[in-house]
Structure 1
Amino acid sequence: MDFILKTIVEVLKGIPNTILISFIAMAVGLIVGTLFAIIRLANIPILSQLIIVYNSFIRSTPLIVQLFVLYYGLPTCLMFSNDHFHTHFNPDMFPPLFIACIGFSLHAIAYLSESMKGGLQSVDRSQVEAATTVGLSTLDTYRRIIIPQAFGYALPNIENQFIMLIKGTSLAFAVQVTEIMSVSHVIANEGYRFVPVYTVAAIFYWLLAIIIEYIFHKFEYKTTRHLSTNQ
């Protein structure tokens, strides 16, 4: 029992980074992903094709490979710049947590852009026409009418992506980030008690997912009521 309590206390120390990575990736993913979705629906030449290629690459390659590319690739690029362009970058200037946040954000963008694309396509076009009729600019139409409704339609997919990010942070230990999985890995290796330690870690991931589901379901209920009144 004492070992379990000690494990719980230690694993709790990894939760802040788990939440931080997930929230940053979700925020960046929603903002950039929405922009990507708008560009694709507008069918802007070259940019649309580049986004399609980006989404395909990110969605078709393992997240851990993407993290390794960033973790080892960024210092390599900085050293290349120092050697060939006489710059003075520190190859270790990017801490592991920063690299993890970048990696998970890039990953989230590809998935959330597809979710927001579906949400944008679900918005009734008659509302867009009405906004144009009353003199709203394109920016105001997107900001006040299209994007809020698209977010509501995409909310279930956004919730699933958030939970996937929470679970996916378990891979961040591979790039030296202290989070739930990395703390659990150290404790398990020290005490050779893998089953109880990883069970505690699994329970923490489960609890985080339950909290996220609860928050999103409350938000989804209010959003659904708002969308139904607008139809």
Structure 2
Amino acid sequence: MTLDFNFLIDTFFVALSGVPVALLITVVALLIASPIGFLLALTRINRIPILNQFSRVYVSFIRGTPVIVQIFIIYNSLPLILSALFEKFSIQMSVYDINPIWYAFIVFSLNTVAVLIEVFRSAISTVNKGQLEAALSIGLTNLQAFRRIIIPQTLVVALPNICTTTVNLIKATSLGYAMSLHEITLKAQVAANVGYNYVEAYIDIFLVYLIICSAVEHLFKWYEKRLTKYKIASA
């Protein structure tokens, strides 16, 4: 079997056109999941009743089930729930007209929250509690203490794991094809359907994700160097 290099080159740019969708899902999921994950991590550390148990069960459930299963559950069940609500409140809108990217935002945000809870929980635990007490003793509020002292040091420790989470999230967006989402994988597969050039299509998908993930890793390494001053301060 020989590779069709013309198709390989053409489809690479087709797959590349799906990058904005993959990155949009990644950014939105991180923006939604980061504050929620941080707050739920605090409930784990401080052992707040009910919320602590909820966080533990939530993390176990989400991390214990495949992302593709979560996609099928939400993508198939949420329209039924919305349809019932629309009918009950006489909302003249078809649930099937909703862009599937909204379902992707929900699925990947929920999944990322579970990961970041554990990332932040382990990172916050490394910060000496005496620093918070010292900040409060000089008149800072809890919010000021966290914003100026705790969070910067937490980011230094958590950044490598946040980088891994981001890279895994970008790769997980390839499952968006199950929601008919026009991201990298689906676009390459559709292009391959005409001449059955699936090997070339998957090579293109591999290369596109490799480029994106490598770029994200380098970006995080650059940002980690910028946070070195906090690492020195917390040493």
TM-score, normalised by the number of residues in structure 2: 0.92
CA distance in 1, matches of 2:108, 2:165: 11
Match of 1:90 in 2: 94
CA distance in 2, matches of 1:73, 1:87: 20
Cα deviations across residues 139-162 of structure 1 (Å, max 9, x unaligned)? 211222112211111111100000
Aligned: 1:5 with 2:15: no
- Where does the alignment leave 5 or more consecutive residues of structure 2 unmatched? none
CA distance in 2, matches of 1:63, 1:227: 34
Aligned: 1:147 with 2:151: yes
- Where does the alignment leave 5 or more consecutive residues of structure 1 unmatched? none
Give SS of 1:116's match. helix
- Over aligned residues, Cα RMSD in angstroms? 1.5
Letter aligned with residue 80 of structure 2: T
After the TM superposition, which residues 22-171 of structure 1 pair with which residues of structure 2 at under 5 Å, given as runs? 22-82=26-86, 85-88=88-91, 90-92=94-96, 94-171=98-175
CA distance in 1, matches of 2:56, 2:126: 20
CA distance in 2, matches of 1:40, 1:227: 24
Q: Which runs of 4+ in 1 moved over 3 A?
A: none
Structure 1 contact 152–227 (Cα < 8 Å) conserved? yes
Letter aligned with residue 52 of structure 1: R
Cα deviations across residues 31-64 of structure 1 (Å, max 9, x unaligned)? 1111111122121111111111111111101101
Aligned: 1:179 with 2:183: yes
Letter aligned with residue 34 of structure 1: F
TM-score, normalised by the number of residues in structure 1: 0.94
Letter aligned with residue 122 of structure 2: G
CA distance in 2, matches of 1:61, 1:165: 15
Q: Figure out how many residues of one structure are paired with residues of the other and give that number.
A: 230
CA distance in 2, matches of 1:225, 1:138: 22
Structure 1 contact 78–90 (Cα < 8 Å) conserved? no
